[in-house]
Structure 1
Amino acid sequence: MRRYRFVTLDVFTDRRFGGNQLAVFPDARGLDEAEMQALAAEFNLSETTFVLPPADPANTARVRIFNRVAEMPFAGHPSVGTAWVLAREGWGDGAGLRLEEMAGLVEVELWRDAAGAVQGAAIAAPQPLSIGPAMPVAAIAACAGLEPAAVVTAHHPPQLAGDGGNPRVLVEVTADGLAAARPDLGAFQRCVAAQPALGGKLSLYLYRRDGERLRTRMFSPLTGTWEDPATGSAATPLAGFLLHLSGAESASLDMLQGIEMGRPSLLRTTARRTAAGIRATVGGGCVPVLRGEAEL
């Protein structure tokens, strides 16, 4: 019988049972890919991570990320949460970590309190902002269970964008639209079939402006995530895309997500223009929940 230690935590929050849930296996040596996928499906969280030795000893660790049905090249709350777990266990140089992920190297800044305890982390998306094609308003509105009039197009149409291998469709909506949105699985399936640019995948990141902040919701039912309470890998392309539209050199923006789910989350983003393109970061707090062992 093989035993593998795991911990669970809530990410992008300062309170237990808020934010986005994550399971982390801090030492996944000996697990094969099929076992990792099976464990992720068993936990039934939006993502589960598995930590392995780095390919380059200059980096902290290699991290593999699985949702319920597939491995992911990059994801925000798994990267933040895994970094928090590793830092609490003494990994890294005290100030930050370097995580090898499929999409590239993810650099981590650790957030510590006055006593030096790790409270959270901020990660840099592994790739510059990449903007794909616009998506048809009516089809995207249908995916969110909305009428087309609920989609705001004054600043941009529904837009495919990404910065780490997980393109999201960014959709500005009205306040009423954000509150009323409900994913329609059939509409998601029809949209993917009709839009080859989506590559068989579709996640919607809905947002509206709320003073100096944004309110957001994310739907990805094709991967088993009906709604996600906090999505760092959608927050970073949104921050970068909004900077792209504004023409500014840099910006900081807070995003509130998970309110409608009863799991309030705060994602703190930055974006800046560089010679390589627009680069974004996202950070937040973490809270421990469970620990145990899986037997295989």
Structure 2
Amino acid sequence: MPFAGHPSVGAAWVLHRLGLVHGPVLRQRCEIGTVTLRLGGVDDPVWLDGNRPRLGAEVDSLGPLAAVGLGEGDLVGLPTYVAGSGLDFCYLFVRPGAIARAVPDLQRLRRLRWQGSRIGGVSVVGWHDGAARVRVFTDDIGAAEDPATGSSALGLGVVLVATGLLPGEGQSRSPSPRASSLGRPSTLRCTVTAEGGRAVASSVGGGVVPVATGTIRRPRG
């Protein structure tokens, strides 16, 4: 993958915890370029600042809808965009009940990702009880659905500014994307900064929980 939020945040947290990096800011280089991570204490959230946001033209929703097993009647009337702040995704805004019915079609997803500029996948977004419920589908991570996608969360704020759901000036806290369809509840913290009606910066943050440790023994010679 050219870029992903969780590995970047996790790697920064581990390096910081081991004392291998110092200071509140760490820059990581990956295929999309250099991203900035902001660290506090060991138990504080790690924040990832994406690259300069990109917003493509409005796209026909029929292809993305078919790729996730939904139809035009599931849309809520908002435009469908390809956008990102590191890795691009296609964003579909649907009725809350449609999110649970989404079923990925891997062949359609693959064709969609390679039409024009490559995208990371399709992000299906709906609102429930004031929170953004999100499911992200792709065909190239070894599973059809990602339980929580930091790179997609970065682009969500970009699209929310473009559709007028977030202010076009200043910094806003983007609705926290929540995912639970795979039995792995996840909430991501997001902010977006806008100028003149367009997003100019986007960040995603979250805590890190160690689940395993290990030792690598380097062979002699």
Question: Which residue matches 1:270?
Answer: 191
Question: Which residue matches 1:160?
Answer: 82
1:150 to 64, 74, 77: 74
- Residues 66-145 of structure 1: pairs in structure 2 closer than 5 A: 72-112=1-41, 117-125=42-50, 127-145=51-69
Structure 1: give runs of 5+ residues left out of the alignment: 1-71
Report the alpha carbon displacement of residue 141 of structure 1 after superposing the two structures with TM.
1.1
Which structure ranks higher in relative contact order (CA pairs < 8 Å, sequence separation ≥ 6)? 1
Question: Which residue matches 2:145?
Answer: 227
Question: Which residue matches 2:157?
Answer: 239
The residue type equivalent to 1:122 in the other structure is W
SS at match of 1:92: coil
SS at match of 2:189: strand
Cα-to-partner distance string for 1:3-39 (whole Å, 9 max, x where unaligned): xxxxxxxxxxxxxxxxxxxxxxxxxxxxxxxxxxxxx
The residue type equivalent to 2:210 in the other structure is P
SS at match of 1:261: coil
TM-score by length of 1: 0.65
| Separation in structure 2 between the aligned mates of residue 111 and residue 151 of structure 1, nearest angstrom | 40
Cα-to-partner distance string for 1:191-223 (whole Å, 9 max, x where unaligned): 356xx3243x45011111234321111011244
Question: Which residue matches 1:250?
Answer: 171
| Separation in structure 1 between the aligned mates of residue 30 and residue 110 of structure 2, nearest angstrom | 28
| Separation in structure 2 between the aligned mates of residue 140 and residue 149 of structure 1, nearest angstrom | 14
Cα-to-partner distance string for 1:77-114 (whole Å, 9 max, x where unaligned): 111111111111113334232222222222212243xx
- Conservation of the 8 A alpha-carbon contact between 2:171 and 2:193: yes
- Conservation of the 8 A alpha-carbon contact between 2:106 and 2:138: no
1:288 and 2:217 matched = no
The residue type equivalent to 1:150 in the other structure is D
Cα-to-partner distance string for 1:126-150 (whole Å, 9 max, x where unaligned): x211112333222211111112211
Give the fraction of aligned pairs with identical amino acids, expressed as a percent: 31
Aligned length: 214
Q: Choose 247-256 or 236-245, whichever is displaced more.
A: 247-256
The residue type equivalent to 1:283 in the other structure is G
- Conservation of the 8 A alpha-carbon contact between 2:153 and 2:177: no
